[in-house]
Chains A and B, each alone.
Chain A
Amino acid sequence: MKISVRDAGEAKIVEVEGDVDLGTSPDLRRTLFDALHRSPKLALNLGAIRYIDSSGIATLIEVLKDSQRLGKEFVLFGLSPAVQHVFRLTHVIRIFQVFNTEQEALGTVA
Chain B
Amino acid sequence: MPPGAAELKFILPSDSRFLPVVRGAIGPLAEVVGWDESECTEIKLALDEALANVIRHAYHNRLDGRIELICRASAEGLEFTLLDNGDAPDKSKICAREIGCDKPGGLGSHIIKDVMDTVCYEVSATGNRFVATKLLRRTI
Chain A interface residues (CB < 8 Å from chain B): 19, 21-23, 51, 53-55, 57-59, 61-62, 64-65, 82, 85-86, 89-92, 94-95
Rounded to whole Å, the gap between the CB of B61 and the closest CB of chain A is 9
Partner-binding segment picked from B5-13, B77-85, B97-105, B124-132:
B97-105
A61 to B102, CA, bound (A): 7
7 A-B pairs in the complex with CB atoms less than 8 angstroms apart: A23-B16, A23-B17, A53-B45, A89-B111, A91-B99, A94-B100, A95-B102
Interface centre among A62, A90, A95 (most CB of B within 10 A): A90
Contact: A58 with B42, CB < 8 Å? no
How far, in angstroms, from A66 to B85 measured CA to CA in the complex? 36
Across the interface, do B16 and A91 meet the contact criterion of CB distance under 8 Å?
Answer: no
Q: How many residues of B contact A (CB 8 A)?
A: 26
From B41, B55, B114, B115, A22 is in contact (CB under 8 Å) with: B55
Task: Tell me, in angstroms, the Cα distance from A29 to B100 when the chains sit together.
Answer: 21
Residues of chain B having any CB pair with chain A under 8 Å: 16-17, 19-20, 23, 38, 41-42, 45, 48-49, 52, 55-56, 99-100, 102-105, 107-108, 110-111, 114-115
- A59 to B48 alpha-carbon distance, docked (Å): 17
B41 with A85: CB separation less than 8 A: yes
B101 to chain A, nearest CB (A): 8
Residues of A within 8 A of B56 (CB): 22
Which of A51, A53, A82, A91 touches B49 (beta carbons < 8 Å)?
A53
A90–B97 Cα gap in the complex (Å)?
A: 11
Q: Which one of A51, A64, A89 lies within 8 Å of B102 (CB-CB)?
A: A64
Q: Which residue of A lies closest to B108 (CB)?
A: A54
B105 — nearest CB in chain A belongs to which residue?
A: A58
User: A21 to B107, Cβ gap below 8 A?
Assistant: no
CA distance A87 to B115 in the complex (A): 14
